[in-house]
Amino acid sequence: MLGLFDSGLGGLTVLRRVRDRLPRADLIFFADQRHLPYGDRELGDLEALLRDNLAWFDGQGVEAVVMACNTSCAIGQTRGWPASHAMVFDLIEAAAIAVERAGYARVGIVATAATASSGAYGRAIRSRSPGTRVAEVGAPELVPLVESGQTEGAQARDAVNRARAALPGDLDAVVFGCTHYPLLEAHFTRAFGPEVELLDPAVEQAARVERFAEERGFDEGSGRTVYVTSGDAGHFRAQLLGLGVPGLELGDVKHMEEE
């Protein structure tokens, strides 16, 4: 079984990429909605949440944890990864691999405040692509807007425009440095225009996980996804239905204490 986690709905943008590549794998998706938004929290707090989440997955017996939260990866990178029995796939590392492969010279990162201020993206990209210029900006308004379903209004549009204005004008690509942001892709496309490529690290993340699952035989299961939240399970289910998650059944959405 493979586990994925995020603070909330953003992780679904990673889950959908993994599911596309591994239609028969058994997946467990954990949304730590009780502690949302991660991006505004103190580093020590985030470190404890990362440790607790990895320990919870150990308790579930997962073979791999597919990180679906950049903020937690930024903490793992800057403060050290907590011990885990599972193989842990780092999303920021996946982004750095994708940037290296594309050969971008100028990259912008839009991320949560915690991720942007950690500088983890810049370090990960420059260690693989030393000549690449990286500019990072935090966009703390966006996660609460996505979680409350306000993806289409002027508030989200204006916040994305502000992030664009804070980055250099001559970018080759902009990275979705938070997994909630692909749900705002239309605003990003309009704000950055056709010259700037939008890079979703989840694409590379899913490709790496597919290779691992095939090698270890975790690709052949029932194809079920169990959704677990630390918040309100009824609310989470309504959010999933609102987003149109395919094949969702009532028993698939649980509170973490039911697991």
Q: Which is nearer to ligand DGL, 25 or 116 (CB)?
A: 116
Q: Footprint of ligand DGL on residues 138-157 (CB under 6 A)?
A: 143
Site string for ligand DGL, 195-234 (x = CB under 6 A): ----------------------------------------
Spatial distance between the Cα atoms of 23 and 212, rounded to a whole number of angstroms: 15
Please say whether the beta carbons of 66 and 2 come within 8 A: yes
Work out how close the CB of 168 gets to ligand DGL at its nearest, in angstroms, rounded to a whole number.
22
Can you list the alpha helix ranges (DSSP code H) found in 85-193? 91-102, 113-118, 120-128, 142-147, 154-166, 185-192
Determine which residue in the list 3, 7, 56, 200 makes contact with ligand DGL, applying CB under 6 A.
7
73 catalytically annotated: no
The closest alpha carbon to 147, from 41, 245, 12, belongs to 12
Spatial distance between the Cα atoms of 57 and 143, rounded to a whole number of angstroms: 24
Q: Which residue shows structure tokens 């209004």?
A: 153
Spatial distance between the Cα atoms of 207 and 140, rounded to a whole number of angstroms: 29
Q: Footprint of ligand DGL on residues 31-90 (CB under 6 A)?
A: 36-39, 69-71
Determine which residue in the list 2, 4, 10, 31 makes contact with ligand DGL, applying CB under 6 A.
10
Q: Which is nearer to ligand DGL, 95 or 213 (CB)?
A: 95
Spatial distance between the Cα atoms of 10 and 146, rounded to a whole number of angstroms: 8
69 catalytically annotated: yes
Q: Which residues bind ligand DGL (CB under 6 A)?
A: 6-8, 10, 36-39, 69-71, 112, 115, 143, 178-180
Positions marked active-site = 69, 178
